[in-house]
Amino acid sequence: MLWAGMLAVQAVVFVIWTWLAYRSLFRLRARAVERTGHAFPGLSATLESFAAFLRHPDYTKDRRQLGLATAAMMAMLLANGLLRASHG
């Protein structure tokens, strides 16, 4: 029963992680479109937006939230694996 509960929590963590990841990607795309003025910004603008995500202060909250959600997802995967291994 514990395994089913962990699986449910893992599903919730995954949904949160997915929402945060897509929100960040849409923000980065909006930045690239705004900076270039083109609906399809191209590779250089996209790469510049990804670089801005890694170091620009405007994205500090996004980085932190996505990093914490990623760490939580990894911890859940590890805990799930350990639980299944201990119960054969």
Q: What are 3-31's pLDDT values in tens digits?
A: 778 889 999 999 999 999 999 999 999 99
Span 39-87, pLDDT tens digits: 999 999 999 999 999 999 999 999 999 999 999 999 998 988 888 888 7
Answer yes or no: are the C-beta atoms of 67 and 53 closer than 8 Å: no
User: Can you give the pLDDT at residue 88?
Assistant: 60
User: Can you give the pLDDT at residue 1?
Assistant: 67
Answer yes or no: are the C-beta atoms of 36 and 88 closer than 8 Å: no
Answer yes or no: are the C-beta atoms of 83 and 48 closer than 8 Å: no
